[in-house]
Structure 1
Amino acid sequence: MNTSDLKTKIQNLYQDILINLDIEKIDDYFAENYVQETDHDTLNLNEFKDHLQKLKDVVKSLSIEKFNDMLIDEQQRSIFLRYDVAVEKVDNSMGNIEVYAIFKFNEVGKVISCRELSKAYHEELEGLANI
C-alpha cells in the first residue's frame, strides 16, 4: 500500500467505524488477529466490537474536525494520528478527547494493531476511550 492508499483507508475507517459507529463494517477494516491497546488496556477484535457497541449505547454523536497530525510510513505500513474527538453523550453532556494513535496494517490492507493514548478534556468523558 502506498501513502495515498493508507491515507484513504484510515479516513474511510474513521468515518465508518468511529463517526458512524458501524459495527457491521469492522471486518472490512480489521484483521481477525487485531489487537488494540488504549490507555494501556488491551483488546482483541471481539472485545473491540463490544467496546464500539458500548459507545453506541452512551454516545449520541462523535466528530473529528481534522487530523492535527498524520504521519504515514509506507515501508512499515503504519500511520500515526493526533486528533481531537468532539463527543455528545446521550445524556446531552459534551466535550472533547485528545487522541494519539498508531495503526499498523497487514499486507492486504487490514489493521492488525492500534496503540492509542487518550486524554479527556472534560471530566464527563473520562474513561470513554476504553469503556
Structure 2
Amino acid sequence: MNKSEAILFLEGMYRDIVGNLNTDKIPDYFAGNYMQTTDGVSSDLHAFGDHIAELKRITRQIRVSPFHDILFDEEEQTAVVRYEVDVTKNNGARGQVELIALFQWSGDKIVRCHELSRPISPGEEFKDIASVS
C-alpha cells in the first residue's frame, strides 16, 4: 500500500465505521487479530465492535474532520493521522475531540491502532468517548 491508497483506505474506514457506525463493515477494514489501545485502554476486534455499538447507542451523530496531518511509512506499512470528531449525543450534548492515531497494516487489513484522544470542548462529558464500551 502506498500513501495515497492508505489515505483513501482510512477515509473509507472512518466514513463507514465511525461516521456511519456500521459494525457490519468492520471485517472489511480490520484483521481478525486486530489490537487497539486508546488512551491506555486495550481491546481486541470483538471489544472494538462493542465500542462502535456503544457509540451507536449513545450518539446521534459523529462527524470526522479531514485529516490535519498524515505521516505514512511505506516500508513499515504504518500511518499516523491527526483529526477531530464532532459528537452529538442522544441527550443533545455536543463536543469535539482531537485524536492522533497510529495504524499498522498487514496485507489489506489494519492489525494495530494506537490512539490518543483529548476533548477540545466541553471537557469532561467527552473525555472517554474514544474508548467507551
TM bucket (normalised to shorter chain) is over 0.9
Looking at structure 2, the residues matched to 70 and 63 of structure 1 have their Cα atoms a distance apart, in angstroms, of 18
| Identical-residue share of aligned pairs (%) | 36
SS in 2 for 1:26: helix
Counterpart CA distance in 2 for 1:19 and 1:46 is 19
| Separation of aligned partners in 2, 1:81 and 1:36 | 15
- The corresponding residue for 2:85 is 85
Counterparts of 2:4 and 2:66, CA distance in 1: 17
Match of 1:60 in 2: 60
1:1-131 residue pairs with structure 2 within 5 A? 1-107=1-107, 109-121=108-120, 122=122, 123-131=124-132
Structure 1: how far apart are the matches of 2:130 and 2:113? 13
Displacement of 1:65 in angstroms is 2.6
When structure 1 is superposed on structure 2, of 35-44 and 71-80 the one drifting more is: 71-80
1 CA distance for matches of 2:101 and 2:14?
A: 12
Superposition deviation, residue 4 in structure 1: 1.6
Give the letter aligned to residue 4 of structure 1.
Answer: S
Q: Which runs of 4+ in 1 moved over 6 A?
A: none
Deviations 1:66-91 (A, max 9, x none): 11111111111111011111110000
Stretches of structure 1 that go unaligned for 5 or more consecutive residues are none
Distance 1:65 1:90 in 2: 20
Q: Secondary structure of 1:130's match?
A: coil
How many residues are aligned here?
130
User: Counterparts of 2:65 and 2:45 in 1: how far apart (Å)?
Assistant: 27
- Cα distance in structure 1, aligned partners of 2:64 and 2:15: 9
Letter in 2 for 1:11: E
Q: What TM-score comes out, normalization by structure 1 length?
A: 0.96
Give the alignment's Cα RMSD to 1 decimal. Answer: 0.8
Partners of 1:65 and 1:46 lie apart in 2 by 26
